[in-house]
Structure 1
Amino acid sequence: MIDKRLILSLTDRGLEVFRHYLPPFVPRKNFRNPLYDDHKASCNVFFDKRNSCWRMHDFGDPRYSGDCFWLVSRIYGYDLRSDFVQVMKQISHDLSLGLYDDDEVILRQALVEISKEDNDHTDTTSATTGILNPRPFCYSTLAWDKTTLRYWESYGITQEVLERYGVLAIDDFSSYSRSGRFYTIRGGEETPIYAYDLGGGLKLYRPLGGGLKFMYAGRVPKPYIFGLSQLPEEGDLLILTGGEKDVLTLASRGYAAICFNSETKFVGDEIISKLASRFAHIVVLYDMDETGLRSSQAMVERHSTYGLKRLELPLTGEKSDKDISDFFRNGGKEDDLRKIIQSTLQV
C-alpha cells in the first residue's frame, strides 16, 4: 500500500509537487496566488520543520494554505479526506512517479526504506537561490544494438532519433540517497534502463519494471521542455505531446514535437507565444485517458489567444491504448494520423 510518506520522499518533501503545479517561484519568497485573482504577493512556499514537509501559506487569505496534497485536491476538486488515495494517484500520474504501475512488492520494499529515512531529511535548498543542491552521480552506458533498441523499435523509434535527442542506454547508475546511502541500480535485458540527457542531469526511465519508472539525477532545466533544441527555426506544424517517448515516436515520422514535464504542467503564455511565432499551427496531443483529455482541453482554453487545436486519437484510454506511441504500436498508420491532423486543423 502506498502512503503519503513515499510521495513526500520522492518529491523532496512535497517541494517538487508545488513546483509542478504552480508558476515558477522561489521558496520562502512571496508571490501572487494563482488559485484566485490575487492582487498582492502575499503567498509563499516554506519548509514546515514540525511536519517535515513543504507547505504553502497565503497571508492574504489563509483558506488557500496547506501541504502539497491539499494543493492537488484544490486544483482537481477532490475531497481531501474521502479522496486522498485519488489525490496520491493524481500526483503519481502527473509527476510521472510510476507508483501505481510498478510491482507491489517493489513498492512495499521502497516504503520500508523510506520509513527508515523519514527522520533523516536535510533541507538542501539554498535560502538565497531556492535551487536544490544535487547529489553526485555516475553512470555507464551501453551501445545501441539489437538488444538495447528492442523496446524503442516496437514504437517505430529509430536509432538516429534516439541519438539526436540524447537518449542513452544505461548499464548501471550510482548515486546517494537523501540520507547519504550510496546505491547502484543496474539494467538487464528484461528490465532495461534508459536516460534522457538533460545537460546537467539525467531523467532515468525504466519502462518495463525493476523499480520506479522515472528518477531524476543532477539538475533539471527550468522550464523542462524535451525536444526544444531539436525543433526547426520555423515550420508549419508543432505538436505538444504528453511525454518524451511520444516526442521520439513523432520525430521518427518527421513531425516537430515537444513535451513538458507532464501533461498537467503549468505552461506560461511566454513559452506558447515564442512557439507560436515560429510555427503556423500548434496542436495539443495528450493521452486519451481522463487526465490527458482534461489537461489538453485546459491547455487549449488557457492559451486561446494563440489558436491551439486539440487533437484526439481513436483510442480507448486504457493503459496500453492511450497515447500516440500506443497508436502506432497497435497498428495505426501514418496516413491515419495525417488525416486526423488535417481534420483537426480544418475545424
Structure 2
Amino acid sequence: MNPDIITKENILDNIELLDAFNYYLQPYHNKGTLQQGQNISNPFLTEKQKTPSFNIYKSDSGDWRFKDFATEDQGSIFDLVMRLKQCDFKEALAIIQNDFNLNLSNDTKEDFEIQLKASWNSSDLLYWLPYGINSSTLTHYKVHSIQQYTRINAQKKHTSFISSKEKPLYGYAIAQRCYKIYSPLTKHFRFTWLGNKPDSYVFGYQQLPKTGNRVFITGGEKDVLSLYTRNEFAVCFNSETATPPATIIEDLKARFDTVIVLYDIDATGISQSNKLSSNFGLPRMELPQKLISKGGKDIADFFKLGYTLQDPEVLLHAPAIQQNTRLVATNTSSKENDYIPLLLKTQKELTQRKAKLIHKVPPLLFHKDIGILYPRTINVIQGKAGVHKSRLAETICSALIKKESCDTDVLNFRKNTQQAVSICYVDTERNLTEQFPYALQQILKKAGYQREDTPKDFDYISLLQVPRKDRFFALTSYIKRVKQMYAGHVIIILDVITDCIQDFNRSSDSMQLIDVMNDSINSEDVTFLALIHENPGSADKARGHLGTELLNKATTAIQIGFEKDSNRRPTDLIVLNILKFRGGKRPEPFYMKYCEQTNGLVEADADHIEESARSRRTKADLFEIQQQISRLLRSSIQGRTLVEELAAYFDCSERTIRERLQECIDKRAPIANGKGIPSVLQKKKEGKEVFYSLAPIKRGQKQKTLEL
C-alpha cells in the first residue's frame, strides 16, 4: 500500500494515538493531559454526567481506545472523530490528516495489477470440488481463478505472485477493483487484500433472498459457498474476530426466521461464537469434536468428510439471556430457545409495578388545555397530499422549542414547561437547497429564534440523498445516535414515515420499523410523531400496510384536511380532527387556514367557520327525500309530477331532485310504502314517460343500509 495516501493504516503510522485522543478531548475537560483510566464527562452527551465514566485506555493490542462504562460507548480514534464531528469515516480520515499536518495525499491510484482467468477449468476446480463447490457457485459469488497479481510499492517496485497447481490463487471480487486474495495451500498469509479494503465487509450478503427460513453466519467465505451448494444461505465477515455491524444482524433477523452462528470449533471459533450469540441473542450451532480428530475445524471440512447438518452429534445451542433484559424489548433473546423465562420475568416486573400507585404521566404537549402528546408513545399526523401536514408538524415543533419570551401564535399548542424535551426532525421529501432550509427557518422564527441560531434541543437530518433500500438502516443509526446525544426526553418527527423504509406495503418492512419504534419507546425516553399520506380517494385510510399498523399502535392520531362544500369541493378552511385519542374523550375539531402573509397556518375565526358550515348544508338531504317519497308515492306516479312536487317542497332545482332520486335507486335506500312495509324506489319507462313506484323488499333480498 502506498504510504503517502490517506488511509487508516497510514494515519496510524504517522500519529501518536494518546496525543490524538488528548487533542480531540481537550475542549471537553479541564484535567490537562489525560492518562489511562482518568474519567471525564462523556463528550457525546449534551449534559454533563453527574458521575463521569468516560476514559481512554490502552487495549491488549497496544492501541489507545475510549470507553464509557455507563453508556457503553467505545471505539477507536476514528470513531471518536466521527462522533464528535458528526462525519463519516472518510471525512474523519481527512480531518485527522489536516489537524496533524500529515501531508498525506488523496491520490488513490491503484497499487496492484491483476490478471484473471477467463473461465474455470478442471485444474482450477481441483481445490473446490471436494467441498461440493462447482463453477456455477463460484461464479454466482464472484469468485475468480487468478493467473497472477502484482503489488506496486511507493517506489514503483513490482512484486508478482503467479498461480500454480501447487499454490493456486483465487480472488473474491469485493468491489470494483478490490479483491480479497485466497491462497489456500500457502502456510502463511493465506489471505491478502488488493485495493481499498471496505470498512465493513459481509461476504454473501448480496446473494441472500429477501426472506427465508434460516441463514447462517459462518467463519469464512468457503463455508458460505459450501452451505449454498447444499441449499442453505449464509454470510461471513472478514474474520471470526471481526465485530459485525448491528444493522446487518438486525436486518438478517428481520428477513429470516432464524439466524444461526456457525463458527469453527477451535478455541477462537467457540469463543467468538459464544460472544456473537450472547451479544445479539442468536442461536449457535456447534460441530462435533470428531471433526478435529479428522483434521477439520469448519463446516466446509465437515461437508468434505461426508457429514451433513442432520448428523445427530451436531448441536444447536439456544442463546443465553442477555444480562440487561429490557421490558418488552424486541431485541431481547431467551434461554433454550424458549420465551417462557422472558415472559415470566416481564410478568414479575408488571406485578411489582401494578402493586404501586401509578400516577398518570403528564403530557409533553397541550392543545389548548388538552394533553395531546404523551411521553414514550407513537403518534400520527395523516392527511391527503398538499393539506399542510408538514406545516402542522413544524408548528408543533416550534411550540416544543419555543422561548418563554416568545408570543408567536402556534395554533394554541403549548409545551409542558415542567418537562424538558429535545426535538429531532427527519425529513424525506423537501429539497435541500431551499424547501427544507426554509422550513427550518420557519420553525426557529415561530419559536423566537433567529435563523442563525442553533438551539441545543433541536436537531434535524434529511434522508433524501440516502437510497431507499438503505433508509431503514440510516434511520436506525440516527435513532441510536440521538439516544446517545441527548440525556433527556427526545421527540423524533418522521416526515414522512413511508419514505423511511423500502416498501411501505410489505409487512416485513413495515413491522421492522414498527418494532424499532416500539422497542425505543419501551426502553428509552423517546416519543415518535410520524407523518403519513392518506390513500387517494379514501376517507381516512393512511397509506399501505405501514399506515394500518401505525394507526393501530398510535396513542394519538391526528387527521388534517380541507373542509368540503356541498359539492364535495375543497374550501380554504382546514380542519384538524383527532381520529384516535387514548388520553380520554376525543377533542372537538379545530379549524385553521393558510395565511399568505406568514406562509403558515393560523386559527380560523368564527365567521369563516360559519361561512364554511353554510356552504356545506345540502338542500334536499337524502333522508328528507326518503320521507317525502314515502308520503307521496301511494302508487305509481309520473316522474315529471314527482320531480316538480319535490323541487317545490325543497326549493331547489329539478336537476338536484333527479340526482337524489337516482341516488335512492342506486343505494337501494329503504323507504316505507303506504302500508309501512320497507320498500325500494324503482323507475320504469313507459313509452316516452317515466314512472316512479315503491317495490316491497322481499325476504332474503339484499338491502343496502343508507349511511347518513
TM-score (normalised: structure 2): 0.32
Partner of 1:97: none
Q: CA deviation at 1:13?
A: 6.9
Q: CA deviation at 1:243?
A: 0.5
SS at 1:233 equivalent: coil
Which of 228, 234, 239 pairs up with 1:257? 234
Structure 1 residues 160 and 309, CA gap change in structure 2 (3 angstroms): same
Q: CA deviation at 1:179?
A: 5.2
CA deviations over 1:44-81 (Å, ceiling 9, x no partner): xxxxxxxxxxxxxxx9535x036x72259xxxxxxxxx
Structure 1 residues 344 and 220, CA gap change in structure 2 (3 angstroms): same
Q: CA deviation at 1:269?
A: 2.5
Which of 264, 267, 275 pairs up with 1:290? 267
CA contact (8 A) 1:236 1:281 kept: yes
SS at 2:203 equivalent: coil
Which of 121, 124, 127 pairs up with 2:94? 127
Q: CA deviation at 1:138?
A: 1.9
Pairing 1:265-344 to 2, within 5 Å after superposition: 265-304=242-281, 308-315=282-289, 316-317=291-292, 320-333=295-308, 335-336=310-311, 340=314
Q: CA deviation at 1:174?
A: 1.4
| 2:202 equivalent to 1:225 | yes
Structure 1 residues 324 and 269, CA gap change in structure 2 (3 angstroms): same
Amino acid at match of 2:165: E
Partner of 2:145: 169
Which fold has the larger relative contact order, with Cα–Cα distance below 8 Å and residues 6 or more apart in sequence?
1
CA distance in 2, matches of 1:277, 1:267: 16
Structure 1 residues 234 and 13, CA gap change in structure 2 (3 angstroms): same
Partner of 2:55: 61
Structure 1 residues 341 and 233, CA gap change in structure 2 (3 angstroms): farther
Partner of 1:138: 113
Amino acid at match of 1:270: T
SS at 2:180 equivalent: strand
CA contact (8 A) 1:247 1:257 kept: yes
CA distance in 2, matches of 1:333, 1:251: 13
Q: CA deviation at 1:264?
A: 1.2
Structure 1 residues 331 and 170, CA gap change in structure 2 (3 angstroms): same
CA contact (8 A) 1:147 1:189 kept: yes
Amino acid at match of 1:222: D
Number of aligned residue pairs: 251
TM-score (normalised: structure 1): 0.62
Amino acid at match of 1:40: N
Amino acid at match of 1:70: G
Q: CA deviation at 1:319?
A: 9.4
Q: CA deviation at 1:158?
A: 1.6
Percent of aligned positions that are identical: 31
CA contact (8 A) 1:137 1:175 kept: yes
Structure 1 residues 65 and 195, CA gap change in structure 2 (3 angstroms): same
CA contact (8 A) 1:237 1:256 kept: yes
CA deviations over 1:102-132 (Å, ceiling 9, x no partner): xxxxxxxxxxxxxxxxxxxxxxx95338899
Q: CA deviation at 1:145?
A: 1.2
RMSD in angstroms over aligned alpha carbons?
A: 3.8
Partner of 1:198: 174
CA deviations over 1:31-53 (Å, ceiling 9, x no partner): xxxx99996248xxxxxxxxxxx
Q: Which runs of 5+ in 1 are unaligned?
A: 1-10, 17-25, 43-58, 73-124
Structure 1 residues 309 and 184, CA gap change in structure 2 (3 angstroms): same
Structure 1 residues 127 and 156, CA gap change in structure 2 (3 angstroms): same
Q: CA deviation at 1:235?
A: 0.4
CA deviations over 1:121-179 (Å, ceiling 9, x no partner): xxxx9533889946432211223111000100111112111000000000010121355
CA deviations over 1:181-228 (Å, ceiling 9, x no partner): 221110101100000001130000000017621110112233100000
CA contact (8 A) 1:246 1:324 kept: yes
Structure 1 residues 295 and 134, CA gap change in structure 2 (3 angstroms): farther
CA distance in 2, matches of 1:340, 1:162: 27
Q: Which moved more, 1:315-324 or 1:271-280?
A: 315-324
CA contact (8 A) 2:215 2:234 kept: yes
CA deviations over 1:218-277 (Å, ceiling 9, x no partner): 122331000000000000101000000111111111111000111111123222111111
CA distance in 2, matches of 1:300, 1:216: 28
CA contact (8 A) 1:191 1:210 kept: no
Structure 1 residues 314 and 341, CA gap change in structure 2 (3 angstroms): closer
SS at 1:149 equivalent: coil
CA distance in 2, matches of 1:258, 1:132: 33
Q: CA deviation at 1:330?
A: 1.9
CA contact (8 A) 1:227 1:257 kept: yes
CA contact (8 A) 2:286 2:317 kept: no
CA contact (8 A) 1:193 1:206 kept: yes
CA contact (8 A) 2:285 2:317 kept: no
Which of 46, 62, 80 pairs up with 1:70? 62
SS at 2:249 equivalent: helix
CA contact (8 A) 2:138 2:225 kept: yes
CA contact (8 A) 1:174 1:185 kept: yes
Structure 1 residues 266 and 208, CA gap change in structure 2 (3 angstroms): same
SS at 2:214 equivalent: strand
Partner of 1:87: none
Structure 1 residues 29 and 226, CA gap change in structure 2 (3 angstroms): farther
CA contact (8 A) 1:134 1:219 kept: no
Which of 222, 238, 247 pairs up with 2:224? 247
Pairing 1:9-20 to 2, within 5 Å after superposition: 12=9
SS at 1:265 equivalent: coil
Q: Which runs of 5+ in 2 are unaligned?
A: 1-7, 14-20, 26-35, 45-52, 65-91, 98-105, 320-335, 338-708
Q: Which moved more, 1:286-295 or 1:218-227?
A: 218-227
CA distance in 1, matches of 2:189, 2:294: 17
Amino acid at match of 2:256: F
| 2:132 equivalent to 1:156 | yes
CA distance in 2, matches of 1:292, 1:198: 24
SS at 1:163 equivalent: helix
Structure 1 residues 275 and 38, CA gap change in structure 2 (3 angstroms): farther
CA distance in 1, matches of 2:58, 2:317: 44
CA distance in 2, matches of 1:147, 1:251: 22
Structure 1 residues 127 and 277, CA gap change in structure 2 (3 angstroms): same
CA distance in 1, matches of 2:41, 2:249: 24
